[in-house]
Chain A
């Protein structure tokens, strides 16, 4: 199964038996994991018809839809957590989506592939072409990732919007560590993924 290394960290951030929405839930691997680990009451929203049907075959409650348009139907604070796993960069308007996540969820968990990772920087520096990596496997002309950012960008963005980053975790070769003000530049260079627990 396509079990991403950050799923365990996401699970650790979530309180048992809470109410969770997984935005862009794909084949529902994270949903199944959270049900098993944390007995959560979880819903998914997914744009791909095939993936929606796969989720239904697993007995998951899922709504086919586009997060950029369909989150507005959920009332304020209707979930304890809204999870967005490596999807933020694919939205036309990430700021609007984050605002929606924080409106419908008491907290949001957002994970981002870090474009400041040293391998990516090196790729661009040495090869002079858009980086293609394991977490970002597409070419520039067919990538859905139109709003890539670095861990530092995301931290600065959250500060400017007055979002509270309750927990900021960096992932380097599947090893998690906390991101602090003092080590931000290092983590931004050494980690390929950032995981943030956000509230307003």
Chain B
């Protein structure tokens, strides 16, 4: 944990009433920034990360020593150009990269929270992060951007704070989780809690790690981030460092080896309880229900310019679900653009090198910035 003490943190003193009913205060929100805030403070972009992301958007992540999760899109001269824009990203509450989460100690009991941590929601996440605007003295963000769960936060943010962003870019997301989305998340949670080392969530104090369960959760989720075609092209039935089948249960196929690797590197950087909490937040997200069945109401008070982006091969949050956001915005005459990017890379397209996506995102931002 020592290494994480150098992470930038904002201590939020102001009480935050969570959707579950509990109130938290004096809690840490870990964040990182890229580029510099201009004098008029009108070039700030708040980026929201997805389920397993963190505040280290680009460059080398100081904790994992790997490239930041959105290195393709964010950086000098990239789509989100840090020579031009001031990029802020916070670790979500409930997460495990320095923000208030289940691996923290409960000040009252002096024990690690584990599953005693309050259940948090997407709404709670953005209500915590809006404090960063006050901290930096930003009245209005130039943009709020995020993919997947980051896109849900984008939608919730502009719904809660209609005057706090000029442009709004939800990418590959949905206004509520489908039964299939919830089912996959439940599979992941069951894998974690079925691991003997999970110990009812008290594994940290017992010096155990439910790494097998967490790895299985990651493997299952990882399949949902890719497309059938993409997997087939990359792996097909290719064998892993062998000439023939071994008639056993080692990783004969490259796809097996690949998934095992994805699982094993994930457990080194992610906390199992955070995985439970964050997937729950995604399942509970329902912007339609929040607005009494009419999604348009979520956006009725904002004059922001929306740009919705989906991907052809994304079956986790398919184009149709993204389009429902566009339809809700058009129904109230909001300023909204929409594009579906052709890509075989599945839901993960927004994180990968997909030139049409990166170019389109850059064009939209730079053109919109000219208008301000």
* A52 and B335 contact, Cβ closer than 8 Å, known pairs A61-B305, A73-B330, A74-B330: no
Interface string of B132-164 (1 = CB under 8 A from A): 000000000000000000000000000000000
- Which of chain A's residues has its CB closest to B367's CB? A59
Contact among A49, A56, A62, A75 for B340, CB-based, below 8 A: A49
Enumerate chain A residues within 8 angstroms of B341, measured Cβ to Cβ. 49
Enumerate chain B residues within 8 angstroms of A52, measured Cβ to Cβ. 339
Contact call B331/A56, Cβ cutoff below 8 A:
no
Enumerate chain A residues within 8 angstroms of B307, measured Cβ to Cβ. 56
Within 8 A of A (CB), among B349-372: 356, 359-360, 363-364, 367-368, 370-371
Contact among A57, A58, A65, A75 for B338, CB-based, below 8 A: A65
Enumerate chain B residues within 8 angstroms of A56, measured Cβ to Cβ. 307, 337, 339, 360, 363-364, 367
Contact among B330, B331, B367 for A58, CB-based, below 8 A: B367
Enumerate chain A residues within 8 angstroms of B356, measured Cβ to Cβ. 49, 53
With an 8 A cutoff between CB atoms, is B333 at the interface? yes
Report the bound CA distance from A131 to B272 in whole Å.
69
With an 8 A cutoff between CB atoms, is A166 at the interface? no
* A75 and B336 contact, Cβ closer than 8 Å, known pairs A49-B342, A53-B359, A56-B367: no
Report the bound CA distance from A124 to B344 in whole Å.
46
A contact patch SS: mixed
Enumerate chain B residues within 8 angstroms of A65, measured Cβ to Cβ. 323, 338
Enumerate chain B residues within 8 angstroms of A120, measured Cβ to Cβ. none
Enumerate chain A residues within 8 angstroms of B305, measured Cβ to Cβ. 61
Enumerate chain B residues within 8 angstroms of A73, measured Cβ to Cβ. 326-327, 330-331
Report the bound CA distance from A58 to B364 in whole Å.
9
Going nearest first, the 7 A-B pairs with the smallest beta carbon separation are: A59-B367, A73-B327, A57-B363, A63-B338, A73-B330, A61-B337, A64-B339
Instruction: Given contact pairs A57-B367, A65-B323, A78-B333, enumerate 5 new A-B contacts (beta carbons under 8 Å).
Output: A62-B339, A63-B326, A64-B339, A74-B331, A75-B333
Q: Enumerate 30 A-B pairs (CB-CB under 8 Å) in ascending A order.
A: A49-B339, A49-B341, A49-B342, A53-B339, A53-B359, A56-B339, A56-B360, A56-B367, A57-B359, A57-B363, A59-B363, A59-B367, A59-B368, A59-B371, A61-B305, A61-B335, A61-B336, A61-B337, A62-B337, A62-B338, A63-B336, A64-B338, A65-B338, A73-B326, A73-B331, A74-B330, A75-B330, A75-B331, A75-B333, A78-B333
Please report B residues at the A interface, Cβ cutoff 8 Å. 305, 307, 323, 326-327, 330-331, 333, 335-342, 356, 359-360, 363-364, 367-368, 370-371
Please report A residues at the B interface, Cβ cutoff 8 Å. 49, 52-53, 56-59, 61-65, 73-75, 78
